[in-house]
Amino acid sequence: MRLNAYLARAGVASRRGADELIKAGRVTVNGEPGQLNTFVESRDRVDVDGRPVALQRLAYLLLNKPAGVITTAHDPQGRRTVVDLVPPEPRVVPVGRLDVDTTGALLLTNDGPLAHRLAHPRYGVEKTYVADVEGEPTDAILGALAAGVELEDGRTAPARVLRLGQHTVELTIHEGRNRQVRRMLDAVGHPARALHRSAYAGLTVDELDPGGYRELTDREVEQLRRSGPPPA
C-alpha cells in the first residue's frame, strides 16, 4: 500500500496530513527517507519521528449523525465533528459528507479502498433521504424530481421518489453531489426544512439514537463490498 495510506491506516494522520509528514522528512521506511510514491509491504518497518508505527485493525462504524455536527475528521474552527462521537481508536474517517443540518446514516471507516468505492459515483451506491419540505409538492413536482432536475452542475440522474405525507417526501439517489437533495428541492420550489438520511447502501439507523453508532457485522461489510456495479 502507498505510504500515505499506510500512515492513515496506522492512525497517524489523514492521507493529506501524511503527505506533509513525508515531505517534511519525518517518515522513514526501513531506515530510508520515505517518498510520496513509496509503497509499503507487511515486512517493512515504518517510523515517524523515529518511532515505529503499525497498522490498526480495520473498523466500520455506522453513525446516526445528529444536527449541528460537522462531517469531517478535524475542524479548524474547533466545532464538534462526527469523529468526536466515536471511539478515538482505531482512527476512522467519514465516507462522504452530510451537511451540518442534515441528520442520519453516515459510515466511518479506515478501509481506504472500500471508502473510495463507496464514494465513487460510478458505483451508484444508493442513499435514501426523508425531507420535510415547505409547501405541498404536487404529483408533477414529484415526477420532476424522479426524472432529474437541472442544477448548476448539470442535470441529476433519475431518482426514486415517494410521498410520505403532506409535507414529507422520500428520495433515493445514487449520486453524491454536494448538498444534492437540498438543491434538488430548492430547484422545484420546495426547500427542505429538515433532512434525514434514513439509509446508506441498504444500512439504516432506525435503531440508533441521534449521536449513536454501532459496528457493522461481517455480513454488512461484505454487502458494502458488493454494493453497486463495478466501474466500466
Residue of 99, 111, 139, 206 marked active site: 99
Determine contact, residues 39/6, Cβ cutoff 8 Å. Answer: no
Count of C-beta atoms within a 10 Å radius of residue 188: 17
- Told to judge if 99 belongs to the known catalytic residues of this protein, a careful annotator would answer yes
Q: What b-and-e string marks burial along 135-168, b requiring 16 or more CB atoms within 10 Å of the CB?
A: eebeeebbebbeeebeeeeeebeebebeeeeebe
The span from the CA of 199 to the CA of 179, in Å, is 16
**What type of residue sits at position 71?**
T
**Phi/psi at 146 (nearest 5 deg)?**
-70, -35
CA 121 to chain centre: 12
Pairwise CA distance, residues 196 & 179, whole Å: 12
Q: Which residues are catalytic?
A: 99
